[in-house]
């Protein structure tokens, strides 16, 4: 059983992946965390790293190869990453959607607590919203260029959940129900 989680920034991918990992006693891998560490190692924010990725494919290709290997060599895992569904097709593919204003509030709250070390400090949720839109634009540009895919096309997924007004436990229950 492999579950791939993708979705918009601030939709709760890491939160849900962690809860599923505990509930199912299954290893969890975070591609966003891995890319964040790559950015930090270069003295960059994740947004700067994404911009670099528009011209330098290593920013994506290294983690994408890692995902492919995980999917081929692991029978049981939970992975959150924008393209995990694409590189691990033999998975339950889950897209977590969220209202962008709610996402901005979530990310701003995490930023104030120092929970997002790969992002610059934000002064407001409105500033985060601008950053989300730029990130989505960069993601779309890179994924189209390198793989000719649109990860925001919800027909790519087995399950789409709007997390805007749902508790993490309810979201986890929906995913577990989809597993059968």
Contact call for residues 33 and 79 (beta carbons, < 8 A): no
Query: How high is the pLDDT of residue 35?
Result: 81
Q: Looking at per-residue confidence, does 129 or 121 come out higher?
A: 129
Closest by CA position to 54, among listed 145, 124, 123: 145
Is residue 8 pLDDT above 70, yes or no? yes
CA 115 – CA 107 distance, rounded (Å):
9
Q: Which tokens belong to 78?
A: 């939970």
Provide the residue ranges of all domains of the chain, joining segments of one domain with +.
Answer: 2-174
Higher pLDDT, 110 or 70: 70
45 compared with 179, residue with greater pLDDT: 179
Q: Indicate the fold that domain 2-174 takes in CATH.
A: Rossmann fold (3.40.50)
Q: Are 93 and 156 in contact (CB under 8 A)?
A: yes
Q: What is the DSSP string of 162-179?
A: E-TT--HHHHHHHHHHHH
Share of the chain above pLDDT 70, in %: 96
Query: Cα-flanking dihedrals φ and ψ of residue 93, to 5°?
Result: -95, 115
39-77: pLDDT as tens digits: 888 898 877 887 888 888 888 888 888 999 989 998 999
Nearest Cα to Cα of residue 35 among 118, 103, 140: 118
> Are 143 and 150 spatial neighbours (Cβ–Cβ below 8 Å)?
yes
pLDDT at 55: 84
């Amino acid at each position: 059983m492999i579950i791939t989680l993708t979705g918009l920034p601030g939709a709760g991918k890491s939160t849900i992946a962690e809860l599923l990992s505990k509930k199912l006693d299954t290893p969890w891998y975070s591609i966003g965390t891995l890319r964040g560490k790559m950015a930090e190692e270069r003295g960059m924010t994740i947004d700067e790293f994404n911009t670099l990725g528009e011209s330098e494919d290593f920013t994506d290709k290294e983690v994408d190869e890692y995902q492919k290997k995980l999917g081929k060599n692991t029978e049981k895992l939970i992975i959150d990453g924008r393209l995990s569904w694409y590189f691990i097709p033999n998975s339950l593919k889950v897209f977590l959607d969220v209202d962008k204003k709610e996402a901005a509030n979530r990310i701003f709250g995490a930023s104030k607590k120092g929970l997002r070390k790969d992002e610059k400090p934000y002064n407001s949720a409105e500033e985060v919203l601008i950053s989300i839109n730029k990130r989505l634009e960069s993601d779309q540009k890179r994924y189209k260029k390198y793989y000719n895919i649109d990860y925001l096309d919800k027909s790519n997924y087995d399950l789409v959940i709007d997390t805007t007004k749902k508790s993490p436990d309810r979201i986890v229950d929906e995913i577990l129900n989809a597993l059968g």
